[in-house]
Amino acid sequence: MKVYLNVVESKKSPAHSVYRDLMSNPPLEYVNRDFPKISQKAQKSLSFLSKLLNLIKLPNLWQVKESCDLVHSAGYLITNHKPWVIDMEMNAALTGFNANRLYSPLCKSIIKRYLTSKYCKKILPWSEAAAKSITNYLPDKRIAEKIEVVYPTIIPPVIPKVKKENGKVNLLFVGRYFLAKGGKETLKVVDQLSQKYDLHLTISSGDVPEELIKKYSKNKNITFTTLSREELYQTYFPQADIFVLPTHYDTYGIVFLEAQAFGIPIVSSRTFAVPEIVEDGKTGLLTCAPKVSWFDSNYQLTYKGKHEENWKKFNRDLSEIEDKELEQELYSHLETLIKDKELRKKMGEAGRKAVAEKFSVEKRNEQLRRIYEESTNISKGKISHCEL
């Protein structure tokens, strides 16, 4: 069985770590052993195509030229008349998270047409939340029958031995899009907690607003930096006692799996798929859903205008709106874990177990192999779904 892993990558837009992991630890040998690199010339053409798609409001479409029995596509609807499966972190991935395209009647009808076609064999959302984003967007029995959740995974790291400062509780925050990941609330709450407890917070983010750096740099228990993956794995994850990320934005969050793999209890928010990864009371503690969120209660994008305008409004709301309930619960959860070393240990062990079992590479690969086999077998039989 020849399976082609269709991941579109360029110098400006490298492949997501989920697909790098999949290519490094595949369920079978893919036809391609790496992702094709798009040339600078081709990138200009794709940039023009992307602008055109935005203008006429079409979903992400792709034609695969390689010879194969099955295409595994990362968020692109495949135009070939050959079997394909598609995975996505949520329905909006089908338009590059462009809400203006996603909610266009034309775009929606095209997405439905492709997902109900006989060539689309399986729809593989990254989470149950992502599955709901699809079925709430397109309530069609034919689509629902094709859905099967496949959780992204990581290889559990070898944990180096590091020396920890006795008595001090180390908190770690890691994330791009600082405000969207709950950075403002984290700083405010940890600044207050540091007046009562011996702790230290490391913030690893490249886009912390200058006014917040200026305000909280006065607190010697807070450090602002930008860490590489190697630094995180070799020093900061092994030293961390609590991982904190009360996100307003994540659809999944591989960083939660990384923290759990290092045996770190997590404090986060009830956002999209986070409760599926961080089990409240077992592997961490979750706050209420944020007042300002990238997603609504139906797992759809909250902001439904043009992409650039959506992002500006989202960040403006994050800056201006205070979320007292989230802050209070964040304070309470962090204080609980700061005070209770045994609870931190218990939750850390449960997190490691979750990565080794629920989110194991072996489990994912076994599931994908079965899906690939079923998809190629189904293609030889009679199909009741409508044709394109």
Shared domain for 303 and 343, answered yes or no, is yes
71 and 78 Cβ atoms separated by less than 8 Å: yes
End-to-end CA distance of the chain: 25
Q: Phi and psi (nearest 5°) for 54?
A: -65, -40
Q: Is residue 183 part of a domain?
A: yes
Read off the pLDDT band of 307 (50, 70, 90).
confident
Checking phi first, is residue 236 left (phi over 0); if not, alpha (psi -120 to 50) or beta?
A: alpha
pLDDT at 163: 76
pTM of the model: 0.91
Shared domain for 48 and 107, answered yes or no, is yes
- What Cα–Cα distance (Å) separates residue 320 from each residue in 80, 179, 185, 209? 47, 11, 12, 13
Side-chain half-sphere of 177: how many Cα atoms within 13 Å?
Answer: 16
**For residue 387, is pLDDT > 90?**
no
Shared domain for 225 and 302, answered yes or no, is yes
pLDDT at 13: 74
Give pLDDT tens digits for 309-363.
Answer: 999 999 999 999 999 999 999 999 999 999 999 999 999 999 999 999 999 999 9
Domain total in the chain: 2
Give pLDDT tens digits for 184-231.
Answer: 999 999 999 999 999 999 999 999 999 999 999 999 999 999 999 999
Shared domain for 71 and 186, answered yes or no, is no
Count the helix, strand and coil residues of the chain and give each as a percent rounded to the nearest 5.
45, 15, 40
User: Which CATH number is 314's domain given?
Assistant: 3.40.50.2000
Q: Is residue 187 part of a domain?
A: yes
User: Which CATH number is 112's domain given?
Assistant: 3.40.50
Read off the pLDDT band of 383 (50, 70, 90).
very low
63 and 78 Cβ atoms separated by less than 8 Å: yes
Give pLDDT tens digits for 37-91.
Answer: 666 665 555 566 666 666 778 899 999 989 999 999 999 999 999 999 999 999 9
CA gap 347, 285 in Å, rounded: 9
**For residue 384, is pLDDT > 50?**
no
Give me the domain span that covers residue 269.
Answer: 169-356
Shared domain for 211 and 124, answered yes or no, is no
Q: Is residue 332 part of a domain?
A: yes
Who has greater pLDDT, 10 or 298?
298
**For residue 379, is pLDDT > 50?**
no
